[in-house]
Structure 1
């Protein structure tokens, strides 16, 4: 892969001395990453400070020393966002390894409000850290990322999170979202307080045997933002309502709009 030439490139990397270097495949390397959404040309990176704080926390959990000041990482992200020429949403993956910083943009793989669920027997080694886990990444690449999301299934039947998302299970006016052994999702953290004003929110584990009790299952994340599962074919589960999804999409749109408006130049 060619070396970097400018900060408008879709793939950028620097070594510890801030010398521009070629990007590498980061998966499987010691390090952490976060994925931000850039909504349009020149738009401020969505929830930037939250992503930076979580990135620092993940590196600490993984015992990886960050060779860069967080202010420098922030500046690099803002520079890439400000100089974007494309007037369409994209994702920006920020990877911090022991010897490099990488910023890579890519098109959104998904559009719409519904996805197909696929059960994936898998437990992340450090679920509360967003590590460069190549085994999970290999599983994700087997999915149709435009229309499918895996639900991670533990040996005890626990459904903690999606492969790239946090989960909300709907049972009447009660919303259940796992809180332990999952990545602290930024989209979820922004949305739950607003949902709690309209529904009862319960943070607890959810098990596969309970699925029939839920009328909706939602997935939240930087790329998908907020989508519903239409079905999970392996267990015959289908969405029977979409009222919470409709409400949640509206609420999240308002949250995002307020944030971006507050960061307009």
Structure 2
């Protein structure tokens, strides 16, 4: 059940989020009360709350809000946690903030295993290091790509470097190395977890269109879908069944989730 600060919420309480759209969020998958990278999702919320609102966020309260919102949900559920302040309007967004926490659960979608065909587009999100609610530009580029016959867009910055997709990070495999494009992009939770779980070298370096033919494989990552193969970027293609993709999926699946309910602290006698 969608809840605001742990209580049921009507549509009237969400008008500011819909009309002003000033806030930030994280999306996580909960399986049996556990979340891969939970501490990193919470760290993101705290960091982004300081950036967007100059305010601190109570992570213990956020944990409690998530638990309350998914109490009647299935064993596995995708949860979006959005932080916003309905009192900050269009005219005075610079006021002192008192951020609220909206928790929106949804069912886990069927596995999206179909490889992605991507079209490059010149675009960069505002404040790319923040997972904010300003999605118009990113979704507009996704729509344009889909209308042109592709599955999604992948962003290219002003210097020609590939950065990220609208709602996912982009990665490559090159000579057994895991390569993340060096560019202004969201530091993804799944991206960081996969980097640690990967049994091999991990590097960040600039990747331009001219580098694509030399890559062995390409993939997209986010918390909802894990690792998804990329079959093509523009006219450069890869084998979506490349063994490296399977190894990355296995590595991600091996990551243990963190419990939403912390273990009780046992004090020394």
2:49 is the counterpart of 1:44: no
SS where residue 24 of structure 2 aligns?
A: strand
Structure showing greater radius of gyration is 2
**Alignment-derived partner of residue 139 in structure 2:** 138
In the TM superposition, residue 223 of structure 1 has moved relative to its aligned partner by 0.7
In the TM superposition, residue 48 of structure 1 has moved relative to its aligned partner by 2.2
**Alignment-derived partner of residue 193 in structure 1:** 196
SS where residue 188 of structure 1 aligns?
A: helix
CA distance, structure 1, for counterparts of residue 60 and residue 110 of structure 2: 31
Task: Count the aligned residue pairs.
Answer: 243
Matches within 5 A, 1:49-198: 49-62=39-52, 64-66=53-55, 69-81=58-70, 83-87=71-75, 89-99=76-86, 100-109=100-109, 111-119=111-119, 120-136=121-137, 138-139=139-140, 142=143, 148-195=151-198, 198=199
TM-score, normalised by the number of residues in structure 1: 0.78
What per-residue deviation string (whole Å, max 9, x for no partner) do you get for residues 92-150 of structure 1?
11110123321112234451434323223320121111011132353377377xx9343
CA distance, structure 1, for counterparts of residue 82 and residue 64 of structure 2: 15
Q: Verify the 8 A CA contact 1:216 1:241 in the aligned structure 2.
A: no
**Alignment-derived partner of residue 249 in structure 2:** 249
Shift >6 Å, 4+ stretches: 262-265
Q: Verify the 8 A CA contact 2:49 2:56 in the aligned structure 1.
A: no
Q: What is the aligned-residue RMSD (CA, Å)?
A: 3.1
TM-score, normalised by the number of residues in structure 2: 0.77
**Alignment-derived partner of residue 4 in structure 1:** none
CA distance, structure 1, for counterparts of residue 208 and residue 256 of structure 2: 31
